Structure 1
Amino acid sequence: MKVTQVEFEVSAVKPAQYPDEVLPEIALAGRSNVGKSSLINCLIERKNLARTSSKPGKTQTINFYRINNQMFFADVPGYGFARVSKSIRAAWGKMMEAYFTERKSLKAVIQVVDLRHPPTADDQSMYQFLKYHQLPVVVVATKADKIPKGKWQKYLKVTKETLQIQPKDHLILFSAQTRQGKEELWHLIEEKLELKSPQ
């Protein structure tokens, strides 16, 4: 995908605030501080459109980005951060469940995990939730540049087995620093959305 136009569309906390225009949509979900914003910025070739925060759990809305007037990225709040209150976590859970179960234009979910660490119980719950609702999932293991190349397959095996990734779901090794996996991920996104790159 050649990204020629990107716009921040809206921040939303409820369905009434979602973009009205019906475009195919990809959601990005992951634990706080897992590298999700860096992944988005790498994909859209912008340095800081998706804000990276030094305070995990700061993003509390679903942020929509319009790409090439063809699709939306929906960046959902990070999950699994212990320092926010139970009431906030509960509100996030309800917001995310409403989005994932009711958004008709949602075509697939990119679940972001950190390659350096085995997926957490929250990561496992998220994957199981998405599969329960029959949503196509692409698991992206970020921060590959932090692991020696010779150990990539070992760490990917741990990720795959811990999440119990289903055969039809893809697992992509990714690094926002080196752009490892960027083209492969865009290819899958285009495939799932049946998009064609602008000429």
Structure 2
Amino acid sequence: MKIMNVEFVISAVRPDQYPEDALPEFALAGRSNVGKSSLINKMIMRKGLARTSAQPGKTQQLNYYRVNGRVYLVDFPGYGYAKVSKVQRQQFGTMIETFLGDRKPLRMVLLIVDIRHAPSKDDILMYDWLKHYEIPVCVVTTKADKIPKSQWPKHVKMIKQELGFHPEDRHVLFSSETGLGREELWDLINEVIEETNEEQEETEEVSIE
């Protein structure tokens, strides 16, 4: 996908701060330091727009990035970082649950998992939560460049087994270093947007009739 325009729009913590233009939204969830910001920077081909940090837990709001004026990537706070206070963890949890529970423009959650490691308890909880509330999810196994290509299938199989991965869900292998998976992920996002547009058009036609 050719990136024509990208803008950081807002760091939101409350629903009244969310954008109101109803563009489709794709949220990125994952543990602290799993590489969500690096993934966003690779997706939009902009170095440093999504701020990366060696210090986990830096993202503490919902960061909105508008791409080509047609879609938002929404970066969630990372979860599972021990040095974040209990109060902050509760605040993050409430903020994310509020967003996921009633955000109509949300089209899919990209659950980011480090391919080198088994999913954390928080990863499994997030996946189970998304399935329970029937929120579309794509598991993105990132940092693929950190292990030999020959080990990819074994690690992906392990991650899917630990998550209890559902066959109808999507998976993308990704590397922020090499760009592996970038076009596949954009193709998926565009596919979901087109499917949603078609469903909305059908609903409108039925309403008119």
TM-score (norm 2): 0.92
Which protein, 1 or 2, shows the higher relative CO under an 8 Å CA cutoff with sep ≥ 6? 1
Superposed displacement of residue 168, structure 1? 0.9
**Which ranges of 4 or more aligned residues in structure 1 deviate by more than 6 Å?**
none
Unaligned runs of 5+ in 1: none
What's 1:165 paired with?
A: 165
Higher CA-based Rg: 2
1:4 aligned partner: 4
| CA distance in 2: counterparts of 1:2 and 1:111, whole angstroms | 24
Alignment-derived partner of residue 51 in structure 1:
51
TM-superposed CA distance for 1:175, in Å, is: 0.5
3-state SS in 2 of match to 1:168: coil
DSSP 3-state at the match of 2:4 = coil
Q: Which amino acid aligns with 1:56?
A: P
1:21 is displaced (CA, Å) by 1.1
Q: Distance in 2 between matches of 1:151 and 1:2?
A: 31
Distance in 2 (alpha carbons) for counterparts of 1:146 and 1:83: 26
**Equivalent residue of 1:172, what SS?**
strand
Match of 1:113 in 2: 113
| Cα distance in structure 1, aligned partners of 2:104 and 2:167 | 25
Structure-2 residue corresponding to 1:189: 189
Residue 171 of structure 1 deviates from its aligned partner by 1.4
The Cα shift of 1:170 comes to 1.1
Query: In the aligned structure 1, how far is the partner of 2:108 from the partner of 2:171?
Result: 14
Q: TM-score scaled to structure 1, two decimals?
A: 0.96
- Distance of 1:14 and 1:47 partners within structure 2: 28
SS in 2 for 1:158: helix
SS in structure 1 opposite 2:138? strand
Cα drift, residue 102 of structure 1 = 1.1
1:97 is aligned to 2:97: yes
The CA RMSD measured in Å over matched residues stands at 0.9
Counterpart code for 2:87: S
Amino acid at match of 2:39: L
Work out the number of aligned pairs and report it. Answer: 195
Compute the displacement of 1:193 (Å). Answer: 1.2
SS across alignment from 1:194: helix
Residues 115-143 of structure 1 deviation map (CA, whole Å, 9 limit, x = unaligned): 00000111000101111111110100010
Determine the structure 1 residue equivalent to 2:200.
none
**SS, match of residue 107 in structure 1:** strand
C-alpha deviations, 1:26-75, integer Å up to 9, x for none?
Answer: 10111010011110000001011100012100111000011111011111
Instruction: Name 1:80's counterpart in structure 2.
Output: 80
